[in-house]
Amino acid sequence: MASEVTYAEVKFKNAAPPPAETKVTLLKGTGGCEEHKALPQSSAEWHCVLGRAEEKGQVWTCCPMGWKHFQSSCYYFSIDTMNWSDSETNCTGMSSHLVVINTGTEQDFILNWIKRTVTSFQNKNYYIGLTDQAQEGQWHWVDQTPYNETAAFWRQGEPSNSKMENCAVMHVKTNANRKNWNDIPCSTTVNRICETDATRF
Ligand code: 2F8
C-alpha cells in the first residue's frame, strides 16, 4: 500500500504546453533532488505526490495543476457551464472524459469536494459521464464501463426517465446525501467534472 509523503510542483521550462513524452523537471522533491521523467499528457504544470508502492519503491503520482487527485485519478471541477455534449467535448479536449463513478468512495470524494464550494441555500449541478440518449432507460458510461444499477447513486425518484431528460448530473446542496444523481435535459448548461488517469512514474 502506498504512503504519501512528499508533494512537488512540476514546471516545464517552456511556457507553452509540451508535446507528448516531453521531459520535465521536478522542482521540489525529497532532498532537493532533480529528476527528469517523461509524462504522457500535455500540461504546463503538474502537481505530484511521492508515495511508496510495494512492487516499485518510490512512485510519483501526478495530476495537472488545478486538478484534484484521488486514488488513481485526477478530477477537474469546472467553474463555467455547458450543455452535456459540449462538456464531454471539453473534457476530451483536455485528454480526459466526463467523470465515470465506479465506487462509493469515489462518489463520496466528489460530493465532499463540491460541498466545500457550495454555500447555504445554493445548489449546483455537475454533469457526469452517464447518458441514456441512445436508448431511453439504457444508461451508458462514456468510457464504456458497464452500467451497474446497484452501484448507482440516483436521488430518490430518479432517474425520472422522461424522454426529455437523458443526461445525468450530480446535484449538490450543502446537506446533500450520497444519493444525489438526477437526469436532466442534455441541452441544460451546468457545471461539469472531467476525469483522467493520474500519471505515475
Ligand atoms: O426532482 C424532480 C425534478 O426536479 C427538477 O424539475 C423541476 C429537475 N430538473 C432539473 O434539475 C433541470 C428534474 O430533473 C427532476 O426530476
> pTM for the complete prediction?
0.83
- Per-residue pLDDT at 102: 97
Q: Is 165 in the pocket of ligand 1 (CB under 6 A)?
A: yes
- Per-residue pLDDT at 8: 59
Q: Is 145 in the pocket of ligand 1 (CB under 6 A)?
A: no
Q: For residue 14, name the pLDDT band (cuts at 50, 70, 90).
A: very low
- CATH fold of 70-199 reads Mannose-Binding Protein A; Chain A (3.10.100)
Q: Is 106 in the pocket of ligand 1 (CB under 6 A)?
A: no
Instruction: Tell the residue nearest (CA) to atom 9 of ligand 1.
Output: 184
Compute, in angstroms, the gap from residue 151 CA to the centroid of ligand 1.
Answer: 22
Q: What is the mean pLDDT of the chain?
A: 83
pLDDT at 5 over 50: no
Burial class (CB in 10 A: 0-12, 13-18, 19+), 14: exposed
Cα-Cα-Cα-Cα dihedral sign, residues 67, 44, 5, 195: positive
Instruction: Tell me what percent of the residues of the chain surpass a pLDDT of 90.
Output: 64
- Among the listed ranges 26-35, 39-48, 120-129, 133-142, which one has the minimum average pLDDT value? 26-35
Mean pLDDT along residues 46-58: 85
- Burial string for 54-88 (b: 16+ CB within 10 Å, else e) reads eeeeebbbbbbeebebbeebbbbbbeebbbbeebb
Instruction: Tell the residue nearest (CA) to atom 10 of ligand 1.
Output: 184
| Probe target for ligand 1 pocket from 132, 160, 161, 170, with the most ligand atoms within 8 Å of CB | 160
Structure confidence by residue, pLDDT tens digits, 75-87: 999 999 999 999 9
Beta strand segments in the chain, E = 6-11, 22-26, 36-39, 45-53, 57-64, 68-70, 73-77, 97-98, 123-131, 140-141, 167-173, 181-184, 191-197, 199-200
Q: Residue 40 region, left (φ>0) first, then alpha (ψ -120 to 50), else beta?
A: alpha
Lookup: cell for 87: 462538456
* Nearest ligand 1 atom, CA 182: 14
Q: Specify the higher pLDDT residue, 7 or 70.
A: 70
Mean pLDDT along residues 109-123: 90
Compute, in angstroms, the gap from residue 182 CA to the centroid of ligand 1.
Answer: 7
The closest alpha carbon to 42, from 19, 9, 26, 11, belongs to 19
Mean pLDDT along residues 69-75: 96
* Nearest ligand 1 atom, CA 184: 14
- Among the listed ranges 36-40, 143-147, 194-198, which one has the minimum average pLDDT value? 36-40
pLDDT at 52 over 60: yes
Lookup: cell for 133: 440518449
Lookup: cell for 80: 463555467
